[in-house]
Chain A
Amino acid sequence: ELLVQSLVQCISSVLAATCVRKRELLQELFSELCTCLAPPPSSGKPAPLSEELKLAVIQALHTLMHSAYGDVVLSLYQPSTLPLLGFAVSLLLGLAEKEKAKQIKISALECLQVLVLQCDCQEHRHLDEEEAQQCGDLFASFLPGISITLSRVITGDIKQGHKTTVSAIRLFYLIVGWVMSDAQLARIPKSKEKPPLEQSRVSELMVHRGPDWSKSTAQKLSLLLHKVVESSSVHPHWKVRLELVELVHHLLSNCSQSLVDSFSHLLKALVGLVNDENSEVQSRCNEVLRGIAEQRIVVQNRALADVLSENLHSLATALPRLMNSQDDTGKVSTLSLLLGYLKLLGPKINIVLNSVSHLQRLSKALVQVLELDVTDVKIVEERRWGPPGSWQQGVQRGRHQKKYFRFFTEEKVFQLLQQVCRVLGYYGNLYLLVDHFMGLYSESGLYRKQAAMVLNELVMGAAGLGVDVLQGREVPPSVDDLKGSVTSILDEYTDQANWYLITSIDTEEASPEHSVQRSGLTARPGGPCSTVLLPSPEPQVTTRSMNSNIWQICIQLEGVGCFAAVLGKEFRLLLLSALYPVLEKAGDRTLLISETALGTLADICEACSYDSVQCLINENSDYLVNGISLNLRQLAHQSHASQVLDTMLRHSDASLLPLVEDIIQDVLSALDQSYNNQASTFLRVLHSVMTALVQWFGACSAEEHQQRQTDKGQSRTQSQGQQEVTMTRQEVEQFFLDYVSQKQIAEGDVPDTGEEEADEVPPLAKAEPNNCDTDGEAPLPIHAQLARDVMERCIHLLSDGSLRVRLKVLDVLELCVTVLHPHGNHLLPMAHRVWPALVTRLISDDPLAVLRAFKVLCTLAQTCGDFLRQRFSKDVLPKLTSSLLSQAPASARAGPVYSHTLAFKLQLAVLQGLGSLCERLDMGESDLNKVADACLIYLSAKQPMKLQEAAQSVFLHLMQVDPDSTWLLLNEVCCPGPCQPPHASLRPVTLGGMGRP
């Protein structure tokens, strides 16, 4: 045996160096070598030879094939040599399958590859078509054996190593690809040629590759391929999977007609491998897919498209079940399969979509898979409090709200679904799709959110945004088409029944929304009978349904953002109808909704190329104003309209005043018609209007005001400083001189030079005559007119039954006063009219209201001091002082908790304000005494610290007005040290407080 082995090795090295030119020699050598490996004829077992020998023989065969000269090799592939060739093939297959040694297996497979003229090396002569055809006929008879054995090798034990599997796969697809090649099969004549007689025995072995044969072979191959694909697509080694990709590629490009039946498996494998963990496999896979798409194999091949659409159909049917049962990786692969089908179908998608059952399956599957998880209570509970502080922040968060789905948590899964929808939109007939999903949207509340989500993505896809495809479309949809679809979707989204949903059970806002919801329900098709029979039972509002409603609104808002992105600047036209609803939601109390709406606003800004949200609102305020004005006409929408106005005001500037003025007139007239129920809503608007006005126009007057304040402050500190420093003689002298001159004036002896007094007259009095002149002629500026109009309404509302309303009114009133501040001529009459109502608030109302009213009073006092003096001392002061006096014992006794009570706050506010009030109003002596008396008790150490401090401030203010009497009064109470007369000629003074602790 060793001898044989070395002989064989010798032959192979000789062959490697020479080349065989004679056919006979080749055939002889070939058959000799084959017999070396031949098993004993009786037993079915392989020849009991050593592995080394086998290897040597195989290698010798390999070299032999290589050393044979071009034409000579072909002589082996004549029908007459078929038995010999078959013998060799079966031998080698046997080795490849049964042997244990990897080396042998691999060599056997390689040798086979050479034998079927598919060697990897480049030395071989290229066969022309005729020859290829002949060889194909020849190999056809081996095909069953080869394919079955190879498939067994491929699906065999993993331990055999990936190389074996790889080469088996390669051999498999090479031979199948050759024999089943479309090009060759097309040239096969219908009927079998009559073979020459002498070859009849051999020719029985020959196969005629007619249509029948190819059909049955394809069926059998399909089974094998299925097995092969199944085992190797999950093969742990990436090279195997890579080879599988090659297999698919080769077969798809060579046998796209003959092997149609197997394509479902092949494509499934290919598409599934797109998301392989190995990047090389991935990229090759993508390359192949792109190649397929580019060659338009699918587009031109109806049968293939049918196979794909069938696959799609069955996958769509199974999708919900799979999504329910698989784990996340499973879901990812299932969905990438779906995506791959769609991408491969490309423009042919429309064939699928035109079939009702296909479309329905697919849409139902998507809708079911996308079902949201609506159990989270937090979403309903999270509220937006107060005005949105920083928009930027909200915008950042609002862009992409994370959704929670019932069937998956992985973000990747959602992205895949997104892509699926976008690819659909990219290739599919947009009108058809939009129409279908709109149908689903309105069909049932169950589907509405998902359908909206799909619609959003469809439109994105149709515009080619964020979609990853293999091949371009023939005709992208025109802007008009897109706009048409977007407009219809937008109309549906912002329809009352779909836009105003119950998202909270706030008592304040719920009532009008309920009515809207109900009317919306009746408008819905499908439920007319139920709504007619049952007169709208109170809809059962559960957390779940509210959560669902919130999500629906959010998805619709996101949709608006998508549409803006799709249409770009064209969307500006649609702002007419879209901006108002979005802003409405930006003011929503539910955090999620308002954040999403802000995100949408940012999207719109970007798409329509506005610099900022502020810009967007400013430049489209005319649209907004229109919406507001129309909505104000309907009771149910008034609160929304006021929200929008609120938002608009917060983001606009003085340039909008004419429009704002227009709309405020509407608000006021709406308010006039419904004082009772809507007052609080409108007050909120009025409040924001006045805040805006103060912001826009208050600046100048406030500055002026500030200056006056600081002036006063400075003089105060000066005078305080003077008091602290012991008086110098000159000052005393000056004081007396002043006193004398004052006294003279008081007696009617007016000096000629009035300059000194002029300085003392408060600046306001100086400014007022000027104001009178100008105001008398020029009409009041618009903002002041507005303030006056608003103030007028406030007068009526000051005595509203609800405390909340009254408090709000007082706030608004204060702002009105601030705005009207520079226009004394108009403020004073208004103040006159407000006074009675205000006094009632101050004297007999809830402490909270008193507190606010007192603040208003302080503001009012800044402007119209003289005007108020009389009224204040007559109407309000007695009550204030008496309440201070009566409360004092209570607060003196109280514990630390007292500082949280309303009574305390009231005391504190009054004490804090009273001093400056007295100073502003320039109160008379008797009133000052009253104030001082009332406040004196609060200086007691028994009183809470804060009250003491406040009381001190009162006295500090009193000192400004009347230093002497205050000094005297205080010293009557307590005088820490004896008074040293500054000069011996003066008598010492005794005070009541002397000597007291």
Chain B
Amino acid sequence: MALPPPDPQFVLRGTSAAIHTLHFSCGGQEPDLPVLFSGSENGLIHVWNLKTHRADTALDGHGRKSVYCVETMGGKDRLLSQGRDQRICLWDLAEGRTSVTDSVCTEHVGFCRCSLVQLAQGRWLMATAAKGLQEVQVLELPSKTSVCTLKPEVGAKLGMPMCLKLWQLSCGSQPLLLAGYEDGSVILWNVTMGKALSQLICHQEPVMSLDFDSERTKGISGSSEKVLCIWSLNEQQNLQVYKTHELVNAGISDITIRPDKKILATAGWDHRIRIFGWKKLKPLAVLDYHTAAVHCVSFSEHRNPRERLLAAGSRDQRISLWSLYTQS
């Protein structure tokens, strides 16, 4: 007999707007409280205390325009947020401060989330969709110097970039960028040379989200159709379709591989969160709680595996927290 579908461990309420992005910061030492950042449609970033399950502060820096990306840079005191006001803000949250220290104007009108990778201590590389329709801009932070702008070949009809993933094969090696485009293709860019290495058309519809496992050099992408696509990168830096997985309902808005690369979670338009084994894409669970499309999923990086959580934010204004370890 199949187990009944599990319940969320807790549901965070009170944002009074749809949730677009989530980001955990739980890796700190004991006195450091685990927190969850959530960006919502009304332009507020809530900082949730995961001990009390209440929002400690709400950050307002995007002029009430939807916030669709929140990332931490290092600890939980340095925060990066991207909003529909076409700005990327850098926050200083140390010692209770809530101030925007710097901001970058992207002039990008889409929903493409930016991607961060740490080059060295205190040096970050950020890729974001740029003003030009098909362009991706790569910046170094915190200096804000532009590294390059990635433009597709003339005449290519890729459409807007929809999702980005910056990664390095190993620390110190050349950063690479995976970008999913509106026409359903995924392109691997060499950031330093500003050159496309490989292109793979894996979806008929816009690529909504992708994630990449640099250890196995395999990635997964989801679009507005019913298919999840896994592709791999061979030694010649060529992208190849490895496998596809048919879904029941169409529309994936977010895909995240858990940091330990064992499972992955998808956020579905059908209000459901799906958990798969990453190795063979074996369906493990369907988490059914939300009453509207799920927009984002995120895994926490607690030191203790038992405390690790999955969070999902939805259009129904709720954030559900799931404990996947205790269920097994």
Contact = CB atoms under 8 A, between A and B. Distances in A.
A630 B54 CA distance: 17
A658 B15 CA distance: 10
A9 to B, nearest CB: 87
Nearest to A577: B10
Contacts of A894: none
Contacts of A131: none
A626 B51 contact: no
Interface in B1-27: 7-8, 10-11, 13-14, 16
B53 interface: yes
A92 to B, nearest CB: 75
Contacts of B52: 572-573, 576
A952 B289 CA distance: 59
Given A626-B11, A626-B13, A665 B291 contact: yes
Nearest to B51: A573
B10 A626 contact: yes
Interface in B289-325: 289, 291, 317-318
Interface string A602-634: 000000000000000000001101100110011
Contacts of A669: 291
Question: For chain A, which range describes its interface: under 10, 10 to 19, 20 to 34, or 35 or more residues?
Answer: 10 to 19
B53 A622 contact: yes
A494 B14 CA distance: 27
A630 B53 contact: no
B13 A622 contact: yes
Contacts of A659: 13-14
Contacts of B10: 576, 626
A416 to B, nearest CB: 40
Question: For chain B, which range describes its interface: under 10, 10 to 19, 20 to 34, or 35 or more residues?
Answer: 10 to 19
A725 B133 CA distance: 88
Interface string A571-588: 011001000000000000
A629 B51 contact: no
Contacts of B16: 658
Interface in A545-588: 572-573, 576
Contacts of A623: 53
A972 interface: no
B291 A658 contact: no
B287 to A, nearest CB: 12
Interface string B84-127: 00000000000000000000000000000000000000000000
Contacts of A327: none
A622 B319 CA distance: 13
Contacts, number: 32
Given A630-B8, A630-B11, A622 B54 contact: yes
A625 B53 CA distance: 12
A662 interface: yes
B13 A662 contact: yes
A574 to B, nearest CB: 11
Interface in A622-652: 622-623, 625-626, 629-630, 633-634
Interface of A is mostly: helix
Contact of B7 (A572, A633, A662): A633
Nearest to A662: B13
A756 to B, nearest CB: 50
A629 B14 contact: no
Contacts of A622: 13-14, 53-54
A227 to B, nearest CB: 62
Contacts of A572: 52
B54 A662 contact: no
A658 B51 contact: no
Contacts of B7: 630, 633-634
A659 B318 CA distance: 11
Nearest to A659: B13
Nearest to A665: B291
Contacts of B53: 576, 622-623, 626
A662 B8 CA distance: 16
A659 B53 CA distance: 15
A659 B12 CA distance: 11
Contact of A625 (B8, B13, B51, B317): B13
Interface string A381-414: 0000000000000000000000000000000000
Contact of B11 (A573, A576, A629, A658): A629
A455 to B, nearest CB: 24
A580 to B, nearest CB: 12
A658 B14 CA distance: 8
A175 to B, nearest CB: 63
B323 to A, nearest CB: 13
Contacts of B14: 622, 658-659
> Which one of A625, A629, A634, A659 has the highest number of Cβ atoms from chain B below 10 Å of its Cβ?
A629
A622 B11 CA distance: 9
A662 B53 CA distance: 17
A665 B318 CA distance: 12
Contacts of A576: 10, 52-53
Contacts of B291: 665, 669
B9 to A, nearest CB: 9
A669 B289 CA distance: 12
A658 B317 CA distance: 11
A427 B51 CA distance: 31
A633 to B, nearest CB: 6
Interface string B209-247: 000000000000000000000000000000000000000
B11 to A, nearest CB: 5
A304 B189 CA distance: 81
Contacts of A629: 11
Nearest to B8: A630
> Which one of A572, A573, A622, A623 has the highest number of Cβ atoms from chain B below 10 Å of its Cβ?
A622
B25 to A, nearest CB: 20
Interface in B199-216: none
Contacts of A633: 7, 289
A626 B289 CA distance: 12
Given A572-B52, A634-B7, 8 more contacts: A622-B13, A622-B14, A622-B53, A626-B11, A626-B53, A629-B11, A662-B318, A669-B291
13 contacts: A572-B52, A573-B51, A573-B52, A576-B52, A576-B53, A622-B14, A622-B54, A623-B53, A633-B7, A633-B289, A658-B16, A662-B317, A665-B291
Interface of A: 572-573, 576, 622-623, 625-626, 629-630, 633-634, 658-659, 662, 665, 669
Nearest 8 A-B pairs (CB), nearest first?
A: A630-B7, A626-B11, A662-B13, A626-B10, A629-B11, A658-B16, A633-B7, A576-B53
